Amino acid sequence: MGFCMRSWFIGLSRAKKALILVSADVVFVVFSLWAAFSLRWGVMYVPKGDEWYLFAVAPVIAVPVFVNLGLYRSIIRYMEIRALWTIIQATTLYALLFAFILYESGIPLIPRTVSPLNWLIIMLLIGSSRFLARWWLQETYFRLVGGRSVADSRKKNVVIYGAGSAGVQLVSALEHGREFRPVAFIDDDVLLHKRKINGLRIYPFSSLSYLLAKHHVSDILLAIPSATRARRSEIIRMLEPYAVHVMSMPGLSDIAQGKVTFDALQEVDIADLLGRDPVAPDQSLLRANITGKVVMVTGAGGSIGSEICRQIIQLQPDSVILFEQCEFALYAIEKELNHLLSTSRVCRIQKIELLALLGSVVDIDRIEKVCKTFKVQTIYHAAAYKHVPMVEKNPGEAVRNNVFGTLSAAQAAINADVETFVLISTDKAVRPTNTMGATKRVAELILQALSQHSDHQYSTRFTMVRFGNVLGSSGSVVPLFREQIARGGPVTVTDARIIRYFMTIPEAAQLVIQAGAMGQGGDVFVLDMGEPIRIVDLARRMIHLSGLEVKDDDHPGGEIEISFTGLRPGEKLYEELLIGGTVSETGHARIMRAQEHVIPWSELEDMLETLKQATKDGDFERVRVVLQHVVSGFVPQCEIGDLVWKRSSALKPQA
Q: What is the mean pLDDT of residues 21-34?
A: 80
Q: What tens digit of pLDDT does each residue of 227-273 get?
A: 777 788 788 888 888 878 888 776 545 544 444 444 456 666 666 66
pLDDT of residue 454: 56
pLDDT of residue 251: 53
User: In Å, what is the CA distance from 434 to each residue of 381, 635, 636?
Assistant: 21, 8, 6
Model confidence at 97: pLDDT above 60: yes
pLDDT of residue 257: 47
Q: Which amino acid is at 622?
A: R
Q: What is the mean pLDDT of residues 360-373?
A: 95
Contact 230, 260 (CB under 8 A): no
Which residue pairs, CB below 8 angstroms and at least 24 apart, start in 414-418?
Answer: 414/450, 414/456, 414/458, 414/460, 415/368, 415/371, 415/372, 416/368, 416/371, 416/372, 416/376, 417/458, 417/459, 417/460, 418/371, 418/376, 418/377, 418/378, 418/379, 418/460
Q: What is the mean pLDDT of residues 379-397?
A: 90
Model confidence at 205: pLDDT above 70: yes
Model confidence at 76: pLDDT above 60: no
pLDDT of residue 321: 96
pLDDT of residue 459: 84
Model confidence at 414: pLDDT above 70: yes
Report the distance separating Cα 136 and Cα 37, nearest Å: 31
pLDDT of residue 234: 82
Model confidence at 96: pLDDT above 50: yes
Alpha helices in 387-476 (DSSP H): 388-393, 395-398, 405-415, 435-451
pLDDT of residue 582: 65
Q: What tens digit of pLDDT does each residue of 443-490 get?
A: 999 999 998 875 556 789 999 998 776 665 555 677 788 888 888 878
pLDDT of residue 295: 96
Q: pLDDT confidence of 296, banded at 50, 70, 90?
A: very high
Report the distance separating Cα 37 and Cα 607, nearest Å: 105
Q: pLDDT confidence of 372, banded at 50, 70, 90?
A: very high
Q: What is the mean pLDDT of residues 315-326?
A: 94
Q: Higher-confidence residue: 644 or 563?
A: 563
Helix (H, G, I), strand (E, B) or coil at 151: coil
- Dmax over CA atoms of the chain, in Å, equals 128
Beta bridge partners of 267: 247
Report the distance separating Cα 71 and Cα 459, nearest Å: 68
How many CB atoms neighbour CB 378 within 10 A? 24
User: In Å, what is the CA distance from 237 to each residue of 210, 251, 362, 470?
Assistant: 19, 19, 47, 21
In b/e form, how buried is each residue of 443-470, taking b as 16+ CB within 10 angstroms? bbbbbbbbbebeeeeeebbbbbbbbbbb
Q: Higher-confidence residue: 457 or 577?
A: 457
Model confidence at 429: pLDDT above 90: no
89-98, 568-577, 642-651 — most confident range: 89-98
pLDDT of residue 258: 47
pLDDT of residue 125: 78
Model confidence at 395: pLDDT above 50: yes
Q: Higher-confidence residue: 320 or 80?
A: 320
Q: pLDDT confidence of 218, banded at 50, 70, 90?
A: confident
Report the distance separating Cα 609 and Cα 454, nearest Å: 20
Report the distance separating Cα 251 and Cα 258, nearest Å: 11
Q: pLDDT confidence of 5, banded at 50, 70, 90?
A: low
Dihedral over alpha carbons 632, 638, 640, 644 (to 10 degrees): -140
**3-state secondary structure string, 478-501?**
HHHHHHHHHCCCCEEECCCCCEEC
pLDDT of residue 146: 43
Model confidence at 620: pLDDT above 90: no
Report the distance separating Cα 190 and Cα 201, nearest Å: 13
DSSP code of residue 336? H
Model confidence at 367: pLDDT above 90: yes
pLDDT of residue 255: 46
Contact 539, 563 (CB under 8 A): no
Dihedral over alpha carbons 372, 318, 378, 527 (to 10 degrees): -160
Q: Higher-confidence residue: 360 or 217?
A: 360
**3-state secondary structure string, 529-581?**
CCCCEEHHHHHHHHHHHECCCEECCCCCCCCEEEEECCCCCCCCCCCCCCCCC
Q: State the average pLDDT for the chain.
A: 79
* pLDDT > 90 in the chain, percent: 21
Q: Higher-confidence residue: 66 or 75?
A: 66
Q: Delineate the domains of the chain, giving CATH numbers in brackets.
A: 2-146 (no CATH), 156-274 (3.40.50.720), 291-472+503-530+575-630 (3.40.50.720)
* pLDDT > 70 in the chain, percent: 76
Report the distance separating Cα 199 and Cα 177, nearest Å: 17
Helix (H, G, I), strand (E, B) or coil at 303: helix
pLDDT of residue 456: 59
Q: What is the mean pLDDT of residues 486-499?
A: 84
User: In Å, what is the CA distance from 224 to each residue of 122, 208, 221, 363, 616?
Assistant: 40, 17, 9, 49, 57
Alpha-carbon radius of gyration of the chain:
34
Helix (H, G, I), strand (E, B) or coil at 346: helix
Q: What tens digit of pLDDT does each residue of 136-169 get?
A: 655 544 444 444 444 455 678 889 888 887 888 8
